Chain A
Amino acid sequence: MRRDSLFPGARFVGYAVVVVCCALTVIPLLYMVSLSLQSDAEVFAGNPVLWPAHLRVDNFAVLFSRVPFGRFFVNSLVMAGLVTVAHLVLDPIAGYAFAKFSFPFRRTLFVVVLSTLMIPFFVRMIPVYVVFSQLGWLNTYQGLVVPFLCDAYGIFLMRQFLSALPDELIDAGRADGAGELRIFLRIVLPQAKPALAVLALFTFVFQWNNFLWPLLATTTTDMRTMPVGLTLFNQEYFTQWNLTAAGSVVLFVPTAVLFFFTQRYLVRGVALTGLK
């Protein structure tokens, strides 16, 4: 009935384009895995190989013994975990206030919150760095976490989601004499699980990968996070690429696993909010 292709075989060409692009996307990451399993000789020979002759799983042991990579891992986990918990508390509670309460200056305050989306991190980094160094917060967990405790994306997301919640549900809670905080925790939050999942996922991945702030806010080996710790293999004369790659794999795998199980949500989240 209707011709669906631009030229004969267009469907096949389209398929080929997608497959090639996917291959180009994945191959560098597979090469990273290969690199993480290569011996020092293979890495430094100036004769790079696509795949090692013997899989040197040992690199991962060296990674955790020669450099305190375990410590970096824990620091990353603490930073991303704490920021995620903070978002899961602060974003929905503020979003709920905007969605379901009427109060003076509501519109103005909402615009104020949204306007923070236009203040990029590079504008905040110098003043926050200066203040934190005066407070003695460099090389501390609070120093890593506090600049990211909540954000307008999360508040916006929760407000949109909670606006659709029926008012009767909340009124019923009030009629039962429940306090406002109790209504929020017992009635509102459980209804918001899908939105909270998207929020948690994005917040965690974003902070897990965060590079610029941990680079500025930490100087001691003890307090480095993984993305910054990776750069430490760059020594003065040479870079231990197999260890760098092994560290990259350790940093990458949790995100990949998380992504694999939650792809549907993530794709929807990206499409919905254009989250950066």
Chain B
Amino acid sequence: MVATLDRRAPAPVRTRRRSPMRRRQARTAFAFLAPALVFFALLFFYPLANEFVTSLFAGARADEFVGLGNYTRAFGDAQIRHAFAVTLQYGLGALVLSIVLGLVLAVILNQNLRGRAVFRGILLVPYLTSVAIVGLLWRNILDPQVGVLNRVLAAAGLPQQQWLTDHPLATLIGITVWQQTGYVTVLFLAGLQGIPHLYYEAAAVDGASVWRRFRHVTLPLLAPTTLFVSIIGVISSLQEFALPYLVTGGGPAGATDLFVFRVYQTSFAFRDFGYASALSYLLLIVILVLSVVQLKVGQRHAT
């Protein structure tokens, strides 16, 4: 997506001498850009640099220089390695499930189903619901004492579950799938609508079955969308904070100790700002690598 940005803008004409008109244009442009640039400098790039500097210090006031000590500490920290593994499981689990479900729903909705707009709208609602609502609501529904889900299961003759103690991570993945599948569906629907109908007709003329049309026309042509959804999905899951904070408290026994929740605990509960900054930077590096992959592959598709 990002790779295609500059196409529509006219290429600036290179002249040896700047005319007064052009200089005036440049002045105006800089004046218009100034507020945004100052904002990004102060609230994005300064924090980015500051976070790195802080990551080189230890102590409650982050004033004891330790070089890369926080980073080596992180690599040796079993709790951190565990949190990272849990976060990856969570991110991949939520991603795979919501992609499969979202793709199925998008393919069905793409067949001029009656009431398509209504269904699409309904599916998108949880995505626009605050994580605070989502977290608290599901904690109530799943609660062993007051939760309604187990009661419904019992009434239906199904076994009851200790959701948050026996399968905590799977439960968080389920909540995330509930929240983001509609969003994934809408992205896939947009991708499906970008596939020219001609391809399907050609495949049908060749006698391809519905399954073969899906397998050899839809899936390959949907690959850019799938990649986009995957990277966006993983990047956002790696940053999940509210669910462990509101639903499980990271437990039981660290089973849902997602990385940003760990960063939050390290900084705002234990006041170990230097170490927390180093942890943030480690996650940032992972996310940057993913973003670069997306840029590179996106570029290849754009050209």
Contact = CB atoms under 8 A, between A and B. Distances in A.
Contacts of A104: 26
Contacts of B126: 25, 29
A66 interface: no
Nearest to A163: B8
A270 B129 CA distance: 15
B51 A126 contact: yes
B148 A90 contact: no
Given A35-B140, A120-B239, A127-B47, A155 B36 contact: yes
B145 interface: yes
A88 interface: no
B178 A25 contact: yes
Interface SS of A by simple majority: helix
B43 A146 contact: yes
Contact of A267 (B10, B113, B124): B124
A53 interface: no
Instruction: Among B5, B145, B267, find the residue whose CB has the most chain A CB atoms closer than 10 A.
Output: B5
B276 A205 contact: no
Interface stretch (A54-62, A95-103, A136-144, A189-197): A95-103
A90 B133 CA distance: 30
A46 interface: yes
Nearest to B241: A212
Nearest to B274: A126
B251 to A, nearest CB: 15
Contacts of B160: none
A102 B10 contact: yes
A264 to B, nearest CB: 8
Contacts, number: 270
B22 A102 contact: yes
Given A102-B12, A123-B47, A150 B39 contact: yes
A271 B189 contact: yes
Given A25-B123, A103-B30, A251-B133, A122 B283 contact: yes
B178 to A, nearest CB: 7
A97 B51 CA distance: 31
A123 B48 contact: yes
A248 B136 contact: yes
Nearest to B115: A18
B291 A118 contact: yes
Contacts of B129: 29, 209, 252, 255
B43 A128 contact: yes
A221 interface: no
A61 B33 CA distance: 47
Contacts of B267: 126
Contacts of B26: 101-104
B209 to A, nearest CB: 8
A101 B25 contact: yes
A97 B132 contact: no
B183 interface: yes
A83 interface: no
A122 B263 contact: yes
Contacts of B182: 25
Interface string B281-303: 10110011001000000000000
Given A93-B32, A127-B51, 18 more contacts: A2-B204, A3-B210, A18-B109, A18-B119, A19-B119, A48-B151, A112-B37, A120-B239, A130-B50, A160-B8, A184-B32, A227-B133, A228-B132, A231-B132, A259-B121, A270-B186, A270-B187, A272-B190
13 contacts: A5-B210, A18-B109, A91-B36, A101-B25, A116-B40, A120-B284, A129-B268, A251-B130, A252-B129, A260-B121, A263-B121, A270-B183, A271-B189
Interface of A: 2-6, 10-11, 14-15, 17-19, 21-22, 24-26, 28-29, 31-32, 35, 43-44, 46-50, 90-91, 93-94, 96-99, 101-104, 106-107, 109-110, 112-114, 116-124, 126-131, 146-147, 149-150, 155-156, 159-160, 163-164, 180, 184, 205, 208-212, 216, 226-228, 230-231, 239, 241, 244-245, 248, 251-252, 255-256, 259-260, 263, 266-267, 270-272, 274, 276
